[in-house]
Structure 1
Amino acid sequence: MAMSTTAADPQPVGLRERKKRRTRDALVDAAHRLFLCHGYGRTTVDEIASEVEVSQRTFFRYFANKEEVALAVLADAEEAFLGFLRSRPAAENPLEAMRGAVREVWQSVDRGAGTGPAALELFELIESTPTLLAAHLRHTIQQEAEVARILAEREGLDPDADLRPRLLAAVFGTVVRISHLSYAAGPAADGHSMTGMLDLIERHFDQLGPALAGSWR
Structure 2
Amino acid sequence: MRVTGLRERKKQRTREALIRAAIELFIERGYEQTTVDEIAAAVDVSQRTFFRYFATKEDVAFALHDMIEQRFFAAVREQPPGVPPSQAMRIAIESTWNGIGASIEDTVPVRVYMRMWQTIEQTPALVAVLLRRSIDSSERLAAEIARREGVDLETDPRPRVVVAAYTGVMQAAARHWGTNAEVTVDAARERTMAYLDQLGPSLSEDWGTGRKD
TM-score of the superposed pair, with normalisation by structure 2:
0.87
Letter of the structure 2 residue corresponding to residue 205 of structure 1? L
Contact 1:88 1:97 (8 Å CA) reproduced? yes
Q: CA deviation at 1:45?
A: 0.7
Equivalent runs, 1:23-34 vs 2, <5 Å: 23-34=14-25
Q: CA deviation at 1:48?
A: 0.4
Contact 1:124 1:181 (8 Å CA) reproduced? no
Q: CA deviation at 1:63?
A: 0.5
The corresponding residue for 2:193 is 202
The corresponding residue for 2:143 is 149
The corresponding residue for 1:90 is 81
Matches of 2:186 and 2:162 in 1, distance apart? 25
Q: CA deviation at 1:88?
A: 1.3
Q: Which ranges of structure 2 fall in alignment gaps of 5 or more residues? A: none
Contact 1:109 1:115 (8 Å CA) reproduced? no
User: Is the counterpart of residue 184 in structure 1 residue 178 in structure 2?
Assistant: yes
Equivalent runs, 1:23-172 vs 2, <5 Å: 23-111=14-102, 112-113=104-105, 115-172=109-166
Contact 2:22 2:61 (8 Å CA) reproduced? yes
The corresponding residue for 2:12 is 21
Moved more, 150-159 or 124-133: 124-133
Identity percentage of aligned residues: 39
Letter of the structure 2 residue corresponding to residue 176 of structure 1? M
Residues 83-112 of structure 1, C-alpha deviations (whole Å, 9 max, x = no match): 221111223211111111112222222345
Matches of 2:11 and 2:56 in 1, distance apart? 18
Q: CA deviation at 1:22?
A: 1.8
Letter of the structure 1 residue corresponding to residue 17 of structure 2? A
Matches of 1:208 and 1:105 in 2, distance apart? 19
Q: Which ranges of structure 1 fall in alignment gaps of 5 or more residues? A: 1-8
**Which structure ranks higher in relative contact order (CA pairs < 8 Å, sequence separation ≥ 6)?**
2
Letter of the structure 2 residue corresponding to residue 40 of structure 1? Y
Matches of 2:147 and 2:100 in 1, distance apart? 27
SS in 2 for 1:161: coil
Distance 1:16 1:108, change over 3 A: farther
Residues 6-36 of structure 1, C-alpha deviations (whole Å, 9 max, x = no match): xxx86133x3323222211111111111111
Q: CA deviation at 1:160?
A: 1.6
Distance 1:199 1:138, change over 3 A: same
Letter of the structure 1 residue corresponding to residue 193 of structure 2? E
Contact 2:173 2:191 (8 Å CA) reproduced? yes
Contact 2:114 2:185 (8 Å CA) reproduced? no
Residues 20-74 of structure 1, C-alpha deviations (whole Å, 9 max, x = no match): 2221111111111111111111111111011111111111100012111111111
The corresponding residue for 1:12 is 4
SS in 2 for 1:149: helix
TM-score of the superposed pair, with normalisation by structure 1:
0.85
Letter of the structure 2 residue corresponding to residue 147 of structure 1? L
